[in-house]
Amino acid sequence: MSEYFDIYDEEQQHIGVKARDDVHREGYWHQVFHCWVIGRDAEGSPFVILQKRADDKEMYAGKIDLSAAGHLEAGESVRDGVRELEEELGLRVEFEALVPMGRRVDVKKNGQLVDYQICHVFFYECDRGLAEYVYQVDEIAGLLKLPIADGLRLFAGETASVTVDAVGLGSDRVSIGVADFIKNVDQYAYKALILARRYFDGEKDLLI
């Protein structure tokens, strides 16, 4: 059964509803929900939970991605996107517990797919242990726990790789580099890490 998305023009005005395949083939703007799960470990050091996409995903197979994300279907509001945390990570979360980080637009082409996204971005603070997540195994190969300080060094070019805790990836410690992440022109992951550090430093009203 096809999914249907609300579609928008370049001024972000609603112009109708289209099937998912048509949206991605014809390049219509549509809405997605993004959430970065962040927390502090037992020593108080901030981290972010990341997912490694399954190897059979249509786009960005095997790449490291943010914690949870998904499309908003036709008629849904941003509040409905919170379901992605439960579906992908097993986290039951109230929308009010999320920290809004603003909107981001993203345009990508991958073969015949054209993806024009209006991303509603959030943080969710959670100190759950990595092994306690119940992730969506048909969509996600495994999870990673990246210390924010290590991630910032990695994206700043201060180190070629970092070794992080992992589940589902054949070892409880794996080495990752920038090339393992989905590539974004706006350095999305790097920006999110900078804002997460600022969030834990007590800054407010942060926008992606």
Tens-place pLDDT, residues 179-190? 999 999 999 999
Which DSSP state fits 181?
B
Residue 15: half-sphere exposure toward Cβ, Cα within 13 Å: 11
Domain positions in the chain: 4-200
Helices (H), the chain: 20-26, 83-89, 148-155, 188-200
Band (pLDDT 50/70/90 cuts) for residue 28 is very high
> What pLDDT is recorded for position 113?
86
- Radius of gyration of the chain from Cα atoms? 17
CA angle 50-153-198, nearest 5°?
Answer: 70
Q: Given 3.20.10.10, 3.90.79.10, 3.40.50.2000, 2.40.50.100, which CATH number is that of 4-200?
A: 3.90.79.10
Instruction: Give the residue from 185, 33, 9 showing the smallest Cα distance to 109.
Output: 185
The end-to-end CA distance of the chain, in Å, is: 34
| Digit-coded pLDDT (tens) for 30-48 | 999 999 999 999 999 999 9
